[in-house]
């Protein structure tokens, strides 16, 4: 009886605690909505736009009040949309109230292609005659690459700058799977299709090492070139300096190398900015945060209403993956179809940032892109990744634009199905059953495939690869053999891909929009972003599903959450995949 009352009391207290937590979350949501509806942003004369880009940068900003609350509770930075960042910088260039930009972005989390988009926007901003300053106590290598475009780059005395070259590493699960008694049965086409290797190998294959070294070197040379141009230091000197591991040396070395303009404390920086903006020593500098400036309206250079539109369709994440955060083939197809049928939409820019995913989902999206191309210009703009299935959905476009540091290609197909029979035996589970036909229980994950089943699956994968290279050959107007020669699952950077005709132009989303405008012969137009964003209520309801799980994983595991998502994605994935090793990380 005592135990019963203990359990009863524990249950009551647990419910009470949960109720209190939910009540405070509800109050937070109400407060968030009130803030959204009532707070109007104002910009003072002679202001500075402060950009703090120290968290994840996604392609498109999503206003999710519950996500904001959870990030705040866990002290995690709120993801920012690249579209919003670029719009704010371009808007600030024509805003007479903004004199300059202060970057406080020492810990940015973005790929090099994304950083190139922001660097280009900052260079356009500087062309308007305004200044860009950067200040941080610590710069990661990516953060310094972004900061190097500034007029002045300052580091706190005693601070640190990571500048050491690029490394790329993989996590391999083969040993763990063997201990568990799980065998991964692989069916693939492509010498370089290394997405399966984490489950079948203990280290990189020679083919995987070759391609990884090639694209890593390509990205590093691009980074050195960008810094060399911005800081007017020879690229070979920069490379030698990086090999000395200067991040642990006296930061004065960076001043001597002309990679930064000085060592300053925050108060010294403020004094300099007061002088730049004509602010009295006793007054605060007029400033506005980037996240607030995004809600400020500034009149555009193009006056009057434009009926004609260019639709920018966003495709970000894994294709038909295990949660709702990535690309859903039906949803994306619907958005492309909507743009195709809208007579006011004169051209489509498909913005892709994806490692690929379901081969079937990729084919479904490809069909809509091909249909759209028959009615109006379609231009693809590639972000950090547009590989495997990400390239599949791009290849039907009229023009493909990629950043030099974009990772693309990876034209190949694979199937990955586990055999858990060894694990079942270890824990004492057995299976038995009946079937009416020879292959009625296929695919079964509690036993190895028979030779006949292996032949069937391998043939299916090979047909998928043949269809893939056929789609690419049609889109790029070359032979299948030509695509096969540069396919085989090999990953290329955007710069490398341009030299082998997988990409037409090295540039960013602004270049893609300009190409689309020119192809459609437009003088005046407006941008329409698709798919349409869900309203905040829908976002909150959605957050209680798969997105909540991802947020909790990120909360507890931080950087390591990506490994859990990788395992779950492979577990829940469609059996046949057009995907690159999407957990690639480059510092």
Same domain, yes or no: 482 and 451: yes
Give 231-268 pLDDT, tens digit per residue: 999 999 999 999 999 999 999 999 999 999 999 999 99
Same domain, yes or no: 384 and 334: yes
Q: How many CB atoms lie within 10 A of CB 309?
A: 20
Distance in angstroms (rounded) separating the CA atoms of residues 345 and 306:
11
Give 262-286 pLDDT, tens digit per residue: 999 999 999 999 999 999 999 999 9
Closest CA to 403 of 115, 70, 133, 52: 115
Task: Report CA dihedral (259, 263, 269, 275) to the nearest 10 degrees.
Answer: -80
Can you say whether the dihedral through the CA atoms of 136, 139, 143, 147 is positive or negative? Answer: positive
pTM beyond 0.85, yes or no: yes
Same domain, yes or no: 260 and 317: no
Same domain, yes or no: 316 and 288: no
Same domain, yes or no: 581 and 449: yes
Give 434-493 pLDDT, tens digit per residue: 999 999 999 888 999 999 999 999 999 999 999 999 999 999 999 999 999 999 999 999
Residue 66, domain member (yes or no): yes
Same domain, yes or no: 282 and 409: no
Give 413-446 pLDDT, tens digit per residue: 988 899 999 999 999 999 999 999 999 999 888 9
The mean pLDDT of the chain is 87
Of 236, 262, 293, at which residue does a domain stop? 293
Same domain, yes or no: 370 and 282: no
Same domain, yes or no: 288 and 326: no
Give 279-314 pLDDT, tens digit per residue: 999 999 999 999 999 999 998 877 678 899 999 999
Looking up residue 282, the CATH number of its domain turns out to be 3.90.226.10
- Do residues 293 and 102 touch, judged by C-beta distance below 8 A? no
Residue 226, domain member (yes or no): no
Residue 548, domain member (yes or no): yes
Residue 338, domain member (yes or no): yes
Residue 115, domain member (yes or no): yes
Same domain, yes or no: 479 and 375: yes
Catalytic residue numbers read 193, 388
Of 293, 324, 359, at which residue does a domain stop? 293
Give 49-88 pLDDT, tens digit per residue: 999 999 899 999 876 555 555 555 555 678 899 999 999 9
Residue 22 has pLDDT above 50, yes or no: no
* Residue owning tokens 């959905």: 393
Give 351-388 pLDDT, tens digit per residue: 999 999 999 999 999 999 999 999 999 999 999 999 99
Reduced to 3 states, what is the DSSP secondary structure of residue 60?
Answer: coil
> What tokens does 386 get?
């547009």
Same domain, yes or no: 136 and 68: yes
Residue 217 has pLDDT above 70, yes or no: yes
Residue 408, domain member (yes or no): yes
Give residue 520's domain range.
309-430+437-586
Beta bridge partners of 48: 100, 287
Residue 564, domain member (yes or no): yes
* Distances in whole angstroms, Cα of residue 516 to Cα of each of 86, 312, 510, 521: 18, 10, 10, 8
* Domain count of the fold of the chain: 2
Of 231, 266, 293, at which residue does a domain stop? 293
Phi, psi of 126, rounded to the nearest 5 degrees: -65, -30
Same domain, yes or no: 447 and 567: yes
Residue 462, domain member (yes or no): yes
- Do residues 51 and 104 touch, judged by C-beta distance below 8 A? yes
Same domain, yes or no: 278 and 323: no
- Do residues 141 and 164 touch, judged by C-beta distance below 8 A? yes
Residue 191 has pLDDT above 50, yes or no: yes
Contacts of 242 (CB under 8 A, 6+ apart): 163, 164, 165
């Amino acid at each position: 009886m005592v135990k019963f009352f203990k359990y009863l009391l524990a249950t009551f207290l647990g419910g009470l605690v949960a109720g209190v937590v939910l009540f405070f979350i509800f109050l937070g949501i109400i407060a968030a909505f009130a803030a959204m509806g009532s707070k109007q942003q104002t910009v003072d004369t002679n202001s500075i736009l402060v950009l703090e880009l120290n968290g994840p940068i996604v392609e498109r900003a999503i206003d999710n009040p519950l996500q904001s609350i959870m990030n705040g509770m866990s002290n995690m930075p709120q993801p920012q949309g690249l579209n919003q960042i670029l719009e704010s910088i371009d808007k600030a260039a024509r805003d007479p109230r903004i004199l300059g930009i202060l970057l406080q972005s020492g810990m940015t989390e973005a790929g090099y292609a994304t950083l190139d988009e922001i660097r280009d926007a900052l260079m356009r901003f500087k062309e308007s005659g305004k200044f860009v300053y950067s200040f941080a106590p610590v710069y990661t290598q990516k953060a310094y690459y972004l900061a190097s475009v500034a007029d002045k780059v300052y580091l706190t005395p005693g601070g640190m700058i990571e500048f050491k070259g690029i490394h790329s590493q993989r996590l391999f699960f083969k040993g763990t799977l063997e201990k568990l008694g799980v065998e991964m049965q692989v069916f693939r086409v492509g010498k370089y299709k290394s997405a399966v290797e984490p489950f079948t190998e203990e280290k990189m294959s020679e083919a995987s090492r070759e391609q990884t070294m090639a694209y890593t070197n390509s990205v590093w040379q691009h980074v050195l070139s960008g810094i060399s141009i911005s800081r007017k230091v020879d690229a070979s000197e920069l490379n030698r300096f990086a090999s000395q591991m200067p991040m642990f040396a006296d930061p004065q070395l960076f001043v001597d190398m002309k990679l930064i303009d000085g060592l300053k404390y925050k108060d010294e920086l403020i004094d300099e900015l007061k002088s730049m903006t004509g602010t009295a020593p006793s007054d605060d500098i007029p400033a506005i945060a980037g996240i607030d400036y995004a809600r400020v309206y500034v009149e555009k250079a193009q006056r009057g209403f434009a009926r004609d539109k260019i639709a920018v369709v966003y495709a970000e994440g894994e294709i038909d993956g295990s949660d709702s955060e990535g690309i859903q083939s039906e949803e994306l197809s619907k958005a492309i179809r909507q743009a195709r049928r809208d007579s006011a939409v004169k051209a489509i820019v498909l913005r892709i940032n994806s490692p690929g995913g379901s081969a079937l989902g990729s084919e479904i999206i490809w069909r809509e892109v091909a249909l759209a191309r028959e009615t109006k210009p379609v231009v693809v703009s590639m972000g950090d990744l547009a590989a495997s299935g990400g390239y599949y959905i791009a290849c039907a476009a009229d023009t493909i634009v990629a950043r030099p540091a974009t990772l693309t290609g990876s034209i190949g197909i694979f199937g990955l199905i586990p055999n858990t029979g060894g694990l079942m035996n270890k824990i004492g589970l057995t299976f038995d059953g009946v079937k009416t036909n020879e292959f009625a229980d296929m695919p079964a994950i509690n036993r190895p495939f028979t030779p006949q089943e292996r032949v069937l699956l391998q043939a299916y994968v090979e047909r998928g690869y043949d269809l893939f290279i056929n789609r690419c050959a049609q889109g790029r107007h070359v032979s299948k053999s030509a695509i096969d020669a540069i396919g085989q699952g090999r990953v290329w950077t955007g710069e490398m891909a341009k030299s082998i005709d997988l990409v037409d132009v090295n540039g960013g989303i602004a270049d893609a929009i300009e190409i689309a405008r020119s192809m459609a012969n437009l003088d005046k137009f407006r941008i329409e972003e698709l798919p349409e964003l869900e309203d905040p209520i829908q976002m909150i309801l959605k957050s209680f599903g798969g997105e909540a799980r991802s947020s909790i994983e990120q909360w507890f595991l931080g950087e390591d959450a990506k490994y859990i998502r990788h395992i779950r994605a492979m577990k829940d994935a469609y059996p046949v995949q057009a995907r690159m090793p999407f957990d690639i990380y480059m510092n």
